[in-house]
Amino acid sequence: MFKGSHTALITPFKNNEIDEKSFRSLIDFQISEGIHGLVPVGTTGESPTLSHIEHKNAVEICIDQVAGRVPIIAGTGSNNTEEAIDLTLHAEKAGANAALVVTPYYNKPSQKGLYEHFKAISESTKLPIIIYNIPGRSVVDMTTETMKMLFNIENVIGVKDATSNIPRVYETKVKIGKEFNQLTGDDGTTLAFMAYGGHGSISVTSNIAPGLCSQFMNLCMEGNYMKAAEINDLLMPLNSVLFAESSPGPVKYAASKIGLCEEELRLPLTKISRETRELVDAALKHASLI
């Protein structure tokens, strides 16, 4: 089971290429600050605009740089089942600890289609698979009933829940069991998610505040929610403003402000507005990051 704060890593670019030096430095920064795990090439890593070669290269760089220091959950999802299988098999061969597989976007499968998609991927690999349920981006919402059916498959182990539906944490725990690994994908509701029985997070905010995020999560896992709430108060402006425009635009700007990498994004994403920059700056100051 994966517990704690796992960073949904940005993919640094320079001159429209993966900036390997900055990527490796970002990974070391995360680990030195106590982060519990890393998630390369998810949505925050701009996976939709990476070529298959770049996607696989980013996974390999991450695994090489981590060198076993923390778990790696590689993003391997696609709305094309065969493509998702290919990316998952690559992650397994490269040495990832698990695969994060998003619910298929755009083609809007039924619950039966979702089940068969994840079943086909799970049957192709021995890697633990975490369902990434994010209806805001994929349109489809996997039900707890479908997740329960998938949990009967040995290597489907849990969910990254980005629904912001806190009562669902309890519902999932009751219907599927405490052993079903629940990770939140919504930084702003992490405190409540953990209090309701979650196991951890896959965080955007921890790209730039891994120390605060790991401290916060350690307190949650200890059951010290009063102290955790104090750190949460520092992080909440960031949790909000990092989604003021399409992610990872704001978090890449924030990363550039603290010297982690350049702000460069790939189209169709563009740099954030002046107004949003000012909001990000204020949130960074609130958290004492600048």
Residue 30's domain is classified under what CATH number?
Answer: 3.20.20.70
Q: Is residue 135 part of a domain?
A: yes
Task: Answer yes or no: is 270 within a domain.
Answer: no
Neighbours of 70 (CB within 10 A): 18
Amino acid at 68: G
User: pLDDT by residue (tens digit) across 212-267?
Assistant: 999 999 999 999 999 999 999 999 999 999 999 999 999 999 999 999 999 999 99
- Our answer to whether residue 115 is catalytic in this structure is no
Note the pLDDT of residue 109: 96
Average pLDDT of the chain to the nearest whole number: 97
Residue count of the chain:
290
For residue 122, the model assigns a pLDDT of: 97
**77 falls within a domain:** yes
Task: For residue 132, indicate whether it is catalytic.
Answer: yes
Q: Check if the beta carbon of residue 138 is closer than 8 Å to that of residue 105.
A: yes
Tell me, what's the pLDDT at 233? 98
pLDDT of 276 reads: 98
Of the residues 132, 196, 252, 253, only one is catalytic, namely: 132
281 falls within a domain:
no
Strand ranges inside 78-199, DSSP E: 98-102, 129-133, 156-161, 181-184
Q: What is the mean pLDDT of residues 31-50?
A: 97
* Domain membership flag for residue 173: yes
Q: Domain residues for 188?
A: 4-222
User: Which pLDDT score, from 0 to 100, does residue 257 have?
Assistant: 97
Q: Cβ(170)–Cβ(154) under 8 Å?
A: no
| pLDDT confidence of residue 172 | 97
Q: Is residue 253 domain-resident?
A: no
- Are 10 and 251 contacting, i.e. CB atoms less than 8 angstroms apart? yes
> Does some domain include residue 233?
no
What would the pLDDT profile of 164-187 be if each residue is shown by its tens digit? 999 999 999 999 999 999 999 999
Q: How many domains does the chain have?
A: 1
264 lies in some domain: no
Q: Which of 115, 160, 196, 253 is catalytic?
A: 160
Question: 60 CB contacts (<8 Å, ≥6 apart)?
Answer: 94
Work out the pLDDT band at 35, boundaries 50, 70, 90: very high
Q: How far apart are CA 132 and CA 128, in angstroms?
A: 13
End-to-end CA distance of the chain: 35
